[in-house]
Structure formats: structure tokens, C-alpha cells
Chain A
């Protein structure tokens, strides 16, 4: 079932890391590890009953968020999803503020009003996160429209999953973005499953990327577990958007290591498939290349790994010590008055 993916991975250009700065590569490595350690801690704290509500883990998909966001400027806006912790951190939200939000604290990125699925921090370019599948895509089109109407060279990026490509919102948004030639990149994180529904049973197109053809925009398939490939594909799409040539659909193939949410929902994936993807861990892939191509060393990378653990510890400490909002406090944020 998943083997049909392999030939497409082979098609991805195997770029030498040497064309990229060491600073960028190490930053991508640190961020992927940060995302991983953050999510692992979230699962732990959630199961311990410390984090309330619902949350969706990003473990396994780090290459996509970090690859895409590394190719963006701070003033480019991303729109994220219910599975958005990775996007938030990759675009630069302070892990302390994200963790505090998961705890429902006033010091959280949405003052404890939004929770796990609605990160917003315009200062770093996270404009909005929607928990309705497909919901952010038309809004991203409007963000890109604002950029274009003001003559700015900023770009909007809409993240969504394979499931969202079956919504009407996806269709209306991609069509409109193409008709109006808007500066936007649509990033489909294809992790093959919408909760339990495999794309082979839900997507009529042969490949998700084929859908780009009907919107008359370029479609790029990329190995989502190769952060450098994601970075290159995004850079190309973003440059095209900045030149005023319109939108691109990127299909980044990856895999979610956790279940849809924090609980086990049943067996819908084979162990074999799971193991194959774990072998292709995006962090491991980059680490092997960094060391293999002599760009970095085991000890240099382990220092970054320790920093990530420290930053997550710090985030948890900050969240625990923060204050909860009360009903009177949250009432202030419904209207501008």
C-alpha cells in the first residue's frame, strides 16, 4: 500500500547539503528536535492529566513544518491546523507561550482562550490556526489577497492534511487563488490517514498533487521526511509567489507516529508500514547526512539536542507557574469595544 510512495521519493533530487549554510542546517536540526521533544512531553503531560482538553501530536512530521518555515521570512504568514504545534514552533512561537496555552494559562499564546489548536502570533508570522479541517485554506487566500492588494512581496502559507483536500473549502480556495494569481503556497502534509481513512479510499485522484492540474498551478511532490527537500521545494514556490506568478501546491509525504489525537483509536495501520516510516525518521535522516557529509559532528548535534530538552523543560516550568484566566477575563476578547 505504501510502497507506491517509494518511487516518488526516488524522484526527489538528492541535493548536497553543502549548498546550504551550516547555520541554517543546524537551526533546522535544532528545531526538528525541539518539535519532537515538545510533542513527546505533551503526550506525557496529557496522559498524566496535567494538560486538559484535546491535542494532536506532530511527532514524525517535523521535516515538513521546519522545512517550510525555514524557507519563509518572518513577515510571511502561515495558517495552521488542529495538528499545529509543529508549525507554531517552527515559525518561531516561544515554546513557553505554546506550552502555557496548552495548559490553558493566561500567559499562553492565546491567553488560554484558544488552546492547542488555535495558535496566533502575528509578530512571528503565525496569523491563525483553524481546527476545522480545510477551514484555514480560504482564509489564507484572503491573507494573500491583502498582500497582493497592498503591493507587498509577502507570502501566505496554508498548511493542511490529506483529508482537507477532500473538502469543498480546498476546492474553492485553490480555484480562487489561481484565478486571482495570489502569493500563496498550499502545503498538503500527506500523512496518508484522515484519522483512520487511508487516502486510497478517500482520494479519487491518483495522487493528491494531481489536483493542482485542475487549478492550473504547479504541483510538487516532496519527501516530507527530508527537511532539506521540503525547504528547497518551498523556497521555489515562495519565490514564484513573490514574483507575482501565483500559487503552488506542495504535497509533502510524511507519517504521523502518534494516533490522530492523544488516545489509541484502533488498528488501522500495519506494523510493517509503521516501521518503514520510523526508519525514515526526519531527524535521523538529517543527522546522518550532516555527519556523513562532514558538516557537523555527533557532539555538536548532541549539544543542540540538550538545548531542545532544556527549552522544553523551561516551557513546562513556565506553563505550570502561570495563572489561569477566569470567566470575566475571557469575556473581554469577544468583541473590540
Chain B
């Protein structure tokens, strides 16, 4: 299999392009995605190739964008709507929460809503509290919509293709800090099943469950910890709904320790759910309390120094893992 190194943004673009070539029903709409190829350039070149009917620039109308994607989907199309920042997703809150996940159910299964809502969160962009939010856990609390959080170019492409082909609605959450990340992506066609976590690195001492960008922090920490004789296993959920409990539980059985590292807020965040699953399904295997490293419970600050400290980082992860391995319960003293 021929493998090239391409960026996360290029991988997403390839997925969009290939699915548009494969299926006439697939089309894109969103703010500034056409003429200028998107503010993050993910859709660059698609307007020229597919034309303005299939790559539709929209007014700044998030409710109409998500609503129209839902309408087109129930009428047989495969819309992919882009919401420029995850912060803006809640401008369309009614459509995202009361409609997108509910329509199939309320119709008694008569309708399908095969729409994909692509959005991104702006990690390390120093853009203050309305352009930096990441709130995936809240979407996990809304049954009826799938949630993807790809961390690599390979996963981004394979998951997006699956999301487009899947008959269910998806909120596909990209990370702006990853758009330029390069990684291996096969030249050949492939997809990644929704609901399968990926063990990004195998290890034996601690399971580090890392969400989105945090996968890279965990992988970097893993190398440093290896030099000190500590082996961590990095589990990337890839999709938060469907949630792959099995891979999480298997990893805990192997390592006996769990750290969740996540770029969302700590209270009622992804880690809260992950640890609750660990308690319900793997308590007997835990040798130490499970730990969360998350963003502080304050809105994202603007000033870079404060912002960097607000997020979990590699240093905090390394020291947490070391403490967990050495002293277990003392973490809570």
C-alpha cells in the first residue's frame, strides 16, 4: 500500500473530494468555504472543481446552515455543513440539539438524517473565550448524533469518509492546531469504522486516554517516560459517540491505571464519563484512582501565559503518571 505524508487539512480535503466524486448527493455548505476555500483552507480548490452549486458559500446564518443541512438530508441529499468555529455551533443550538438528533427518532424511524456538521476548535490560537471552546461531552449527552474527534491525518480522512457515508447525523470536530500536522495516509481508498478506538501506542503501566490534540502530548510524554522505565498505553477514542468501551476496558485490564487527558473543561467533561465507565466496568482492575487532566473550569483566557497554563500539558501528564505509578492513592493527599 502506497503511503504518503500529508497534512490533516489535506487529508480532510481528500475525504471531501473523494466522497463528492463518489456520490452526487454529497455537497458542501458553510461560511467562506467556496471562493476562498475556507478560513482554514480545508475546502481549498473544491469550489473550482465542483462549482458553486456543490460548494455553497452561505450567509452568516448558523441556524439556517444546520437547518438546511437537516432538510436536505431528510430529502435525500448528503450535506456536509461547515460551522467555522465550534463556539458558533450553539448559534444553531436549536437545530443541533432539538432537531438533528431527534428527527429520525420522532418520525418512528421513517426519516434518516445523513448530514455531517464539520467544525473545529481553536486550540493554542489565543483567541479568547468565544473562539477557543471545545465542548464534546455535552454532545455525548445528546443521544442521536455521532461525534468524531480525529487526532491524525489518517484518522481525519478515514473517519470523515465514514461519517459522510453513514446514515446518521455527525458532529465532526476538527482541531485547528492539527491542520498542518503531517502524517502517513495511504494513497488507496480506506475508511475507519465509527466507534472504534485506536491504541496509538501500546504500553503496560498506565492507560492514558487522550482526546483529540492531547493524543500528541501523550505520545510525546510516552517517549520521555520510556527513558525512565515507565510504559504508557495511549488510547485515542477517535469517536465519542459511538463510544468504544471495550478498548478502554481492555487497556485498563492490562495496565491497572488510568489517566484521562482532555482539552475540554474538567467538570462533567469527557473524562468524567470515561472514568465513570472505568468504575462501572473495570473497577476490580484498577490499582490506583483514575485521574483527569483537563482544561481548568474557567472560560479560556486570552493572554498566552494564562491560556497555556489553563490547558493540560505534557509536564503535568508526566508528573501525574509518575506519581500514579509510584504512590497511587497519595495523589489525592
Interface residues of A (CB under 8 A from B): 77, 108-114, 118, 120-122, 127-128, 130, 132, 135, 137-147, 149-150, 156, 168-169, 172-173, 175-176, 179-180, 330, 332-336
Contacts and interface: CB of A to CB of B under 8 A. Distances in A.
B61 A139 contact: no
Interface stretch (B73-81, B177-185, B232-240): B73-81
A132 B94 contact: yes
Task: Please give me the 8 A-B residue pairs with the lowest Cβ-Cβ distance, nearest first.
Answer: A142-B71, A138-B67, A111-B108, A146-B75, A142-B68, A120-B107, A172-B64, A336-B167
B195 to A, nearest CB: 10
Contacts of B63: 138, 168-169, 172-173
B171 interface: no
29 contacts: A110-B106, A110-B107, A111-B109, A113-B106, A114-B108, A118-B106, A120-B110, A122-B110, A122-B111, A127-B111, A128-B103, A130-B98, A132-B94, A138-B70, A139-B68, A143-B71, A143-B72, A149-B53, A149-B77, A172-B59, A176-B58, A176-B59, A332-B109, A333-B104, A333-B108, A333-B109, A334-B105, A334-B143, A336-B112
Given A132-B98, A175-B59, A118 B107 contact: yes
A330 B143 CA distance: 13
B113 to A, nearest CB: 9
A145 B78 CA distance: 12
Given A172-B61, A335-B104, 16 more contacts: A113-B108, A114-B108, A118-B106, A120-B106, A121-B110, A127-B74, A128-B74, A132-B99, A138-B63, A138-B68, A142-B75, A146-B75, A150-B77, A169-B95, A176-B59, A333-B104
Of B54, B58, B107, B111, most buried by chain A (CB within 10 Å of CB) is B107
Interface centre among B56, B106, B168 (most CB of A within 10 A): B106
Contacts of A169: 63-64, 67, 94-95
A128 B112 CA distance: 11
Contacts of A112: 108
A149 B55 CA distance: 12
B312 interface: no
A173 to B, nearest CB: 5
B69 interface: yes
- Of the candidates B54, B98, B103, B144, the one having the most CB atoms from chain A within 10 angstroms of its own CB is B103
B213 interface: no
Interface string B107-137: 1111110000000000000000000000000
Nearest to A114: B106
A169 B77 CA distance: 22
A114 B107 contact: yes
B108 A139 contact: no
A149 B27 contact: yes
A142 B70 contact: yes
Interface of B: 27, 53-54, 56, 58-59, 61-64, 66-77, 79, 94-95, 98-99, 103-112, 143-144, 166-168
A141 B94 contact: no
Contacts of B110: 110, 120-122
Contacts of B76: 146, 150
B108 A142 contact: no
B72 A175 contact: no
A332 B143 CA distance: 12
B116 to A, nearest CB: 14
A121 B110 CA distance: 8
Contacts of B64: 138, 141, 169, 172-173, 175-176
A129 to B, nearest CB: 8
A170 B73 CA distance: 20
Contacts of B27: 149
A173 B62 CA distance: 10
Contacts of B109: 111, 332-333
B74 A141 contact: no
B151 to A, nearest CB: 24
A137 B107 contact: no
A141 B54 CA distance: 16
Contact of A108 (B59, B105, B108): B108
A175 B111 CA distance: 26
A144 B76 CA distance: 11
**Residue from B62, B68, B79, B167 with most neighbouring chain A CB atoms (10 Å):** B68
Nearest to A79: B71
Contacts of A336: 104, 112, 166-168
Contacts of B68: 138-139, 141-142, 145, 173, 176
A212 B236 CA distance: 50
Nearest to B92: A138
Nearest to B60: A172
Nearest to A144: B71
B67 A146 contact: no
Nearest to B109: A333
Nearest to A146: B75
A113 B143 CA distance: 15
A335 B168 contact: yes
Nearest to A137: B67
Given A113-B108, A120-B110, A142 B99 contact: no
Contacts of B54: 149
Contacts of B94: 132, 135, 169
Contacts of A128: 74, 103, 107, 111
Contact of B71 (A139, A150, A175): A139
Nearest to A108: B108
Contact of B104 (A108, A127, A173, A334): A334
A60 B45 CA distance: 55
Nearest to A113: B108
